[in-house]
Homo-oligomer: A and B are copies of this chain.
Amino acid sequence: MSTLETPAWLGQLKRAVSKNKRDAHSRYFQLATRGQDDYPRVRTLVFRGFSDVGWSLFSVTDARSEKVRELAFHSRVELSWYFTQTREQFRLRGEAAVFSADSDPEGHRQRLWSALSEAARAQFFWPTPGAPLGDTEAPSFSQTPPETFAVIEYTPMEVDHLVLAKTQTRSLSEYVAGQWRETPINP
C-alpha cells in the first residue's frame, strides 16, 4: 500500500463513526498521556474531525489544561475509541501535536474554532481549568480563537482494531518504512 492510499483501518474507523452516529457516545474518545509525575493519565474528549490529508484526527482543548503541559514533555499517546452499537474498539497509538496561538501555520485553530458551538466557545473564556474554584468571568464571544484555544492533532502509527461481533476479530496495523502493514491477531 502506498502512503497516498487510505489505510484500511481509517476506512473502518470512518465507517464506525458513521454507523454509530445515533449514539451520542460515538463522538467521544479517550486520550491517555504520560503525566508529569510519570504516571498514566486518561480523559474523555470530543472528536473534532479527521484531517483531509493523511490519517490524523483532531480534538480541541484549553491551552491552560494539564494535558497540554503533559504533551509538551511526552508527545507519545494512545487513544481508545469504543463504539457501542457496532461493538468495536480502536486503539490508536502515535504522536500528538499541540497547535496554540503562536504555533499554527496551517490554521487548524481558526478552522476548528469556526465549527464550535457558542456553548463550547464560552469555556475558553473561563478561569484556568483545574485551579481552585474562582469567580467565572462573563464570556465574550469572538470570531477569532482566544489564546486559550488549542488544537491537538493525533497521528497514529499503530492501530489495534477489535471487533466484538458474533465472531470476534482483531487486527494490528503498523506504519513501518512508509507503509501500513496489517496483521490479524487473536482477540
By a beta-carbon cutoff of 8 Å, the part of chain A in contact with chain B is 23-25, 28, 30-34, 38-44, 74, 76-80, 82, 84, 89, 91, 93, 123, 126-134, 168, 170, 172, 183-187
Contact = CB atoms under 8 A, between A and B. Distances in A.
Contacts of A133: 184-186
Contacts of A132: 183-186
26 contacts: A24-B84, A25-B84, A28-B82, A28-B84, A30-B44, A30-B80, A31-B42, A32-B42, A32-B78, A33-B40, A34-B40, A39-B74, A39-B76, A40-B77, A41-B91, A43-B80, A123-B168, A126-B186, A128-B186, A129-B185, A129-B186, A130-B170, A130-B172, A131-B185, A132-B185, A133-B185
Contact of A38 (B34, B80, B91, B129): B34
Given A25-B25, A31-B42, A41-B93, 5 more contacts: A23-B25, A30-B30, A39-B74, A43-B80, A44-B80
A91 B30 CA distance: 11
Nearest to A93: B39
How many copies of the polypeptide does the oligomer hold?
Answer: 2
A84 B33 CA distance: 23
Contacts of A42: 30-32, 40, 42, 78-80, 91
A174 to B, nearest CB: 13
A131 B186 contact: yes
